[in-house]
Structure 1
Amino acid sequence: MVDTVDGGASIGFLAPLDRTAAVGWWRERAAAVAAGGLVVWVASDGGRVVGTVGLVLPDKPNSRHRAELVKLMVHRDARGQGLGRALLATAERAAADAGISLLHLDTETDSPAERLYAGTGWTRIGTIPDYAANPHGTLRPTSIYYKRPGTREPAR
């Protein structure tokens, strides 16, 4: 997470992100993971975490068919090897296997992440201006995407 923020990715934190703060953020999610409201996959290389992705599962009866994809991160040293695509495919497969029929996410407009989602069949439905500050504190737009797991819908 620290490397991702230091690399300029807008994942909800400002740079520089302190390692203690990052660890604390993950620890705060332990209860959600234990309760089944958050599912997280971790990619490691020799015991070192090099990537993550998560799904937030809604707790309301009318939204149990959908989930939000969150915190897809790949360490800069591990990029360009297909790890982001593999983590994304893992989350999509698990969602489909769990009966989730709709996934959604938001990501910084014009970011490398946006290119990944568009290139893997996610459909962009629009942007929200000045949605969140990037790691340097500049307000940036976000793009909203959706995908039906198990399909490869054409990006629009």
Structure 2
Amino acid sequence: MSALDIRTLSPDQLDENLVGLSKVLHACVHSGASVSFVLPFTLKDAMRFWTNKVRPALVASECVLFAAFINEELVGTVQLDHSMPPNQTHRCEVSKLLVRPDFHRRGIARKLMVALEQKARQLERPLITLDTAKNSNAQHLYESLGFNRVGEIPNFARHPTLKKHEATTYMYKEVQASSTR
């Protein structure tokens, strides 16, 4: 595998990488990733998500968008949402960990999560939370990274490609704050 480069993207860089981000999201949904969307799901739907949901959060400095590139090709992404209510400013949330299916099993998701954890430390957010489809590959990855299961909610979300509902698992990890800010 060629060198993997993990970058944080600004709003303008999101715009420059809109097609790549949209292709990643589109491919993941079509391969069955439970990330809020269901079929039918078009490339335009994916573009609207990045433009209407993520870009405003980046402009407002409410989240950090990470992108994984191999040979300048965008192959994965994850978001760190740190826009929390006043009583939860010690916490942040993982959102939309996505790796293009043809790049699975290469350590890309793990490296994105390591970058996300480092940023959480820098932001002095020692509690990271997330939810994921029960017993998914993502859940197993999060557990291997030290995330703890809190509980499950049955029939939480509709499966993206099948007409059935799936349980979700809530997880958390506590990390030490970075000594540099």
TM-score computed with the length of structure 2 as normaliser: 0.80
Contact residue 84 and residue 91 of structure 2 kept, 8 A: no
The one of 166, 169, 172 equivalent to 1:140 is 166
Q: Which 5+ residue runs of structure 1 have no aligned equivalent? A: 152-156
Q: Which moved more, 1:47-56 or 1:137-146?
A: 47-56
Cα deviation, 1:86-114, whole Å, max 9, x if unaligned, reads 00110011001110010100000011101
| CA distance, structure 2, for counterparts of residue 83 and residue 16 of structure 1 | 27
Which residue, out of 81, 84, 100, partners 2:109? 84
For residues 76 and 70 of structure 2, what CA distance do their matches in structure 1 show?
9
Percent identical among aligned pairs is 32
Q: Give the length in aligned residue pairs.
A: 151
Equivalent residue of 1:15, what SS? coil
Offset at residue 150 of structure 1 (A): 4.3
Cα distance in 2 for partners of 1:11, 1:105 equals 12
Question: Displacement, 1:23?
Answer: 0.6
For the Cα contact (< 8 Å) 1:4–1:73, is it kept in 2? yes
For 1:50, the aligned partner's letter is V
Q: Is 1:75 the counterpart of 2:100 in the alignment?
A: yes
- Give SS of 2:106's match: coil
Q: Which residue of 2 aligns with 1:154?
A: none
In the alignment, which residue of structure 1 is the partner of 2:42?
18
User: Which ranges of structure 2 fall in alignment gaps of 5 or more residues?
Assistant: 1-24
**One-letter identity of the residue aligned with 1:148:** E
Q: 1: CA distance between counterparts of 2:86 and 2:158? A: 33
**Which letter maps to 2:71?**
G
Matching of residues 11-50 of structure 1 within 5 Å: 11-28=35-52, 29-50=54-75
Instruction: Determine whether 1:6 maps to 2:30.
Output: yes
- Is the contact between residue 92 and residue 150 of structure 1 (CA under 8 Å) also seen in structure 2? no
Q: Deviations over 1:30-60 (max 9, x none)?
A: 1111111121101122333210010111242
Structure 1 residues 110 and 59, CA, compared in 2 at 3 Å: closer, same or farther?
closer
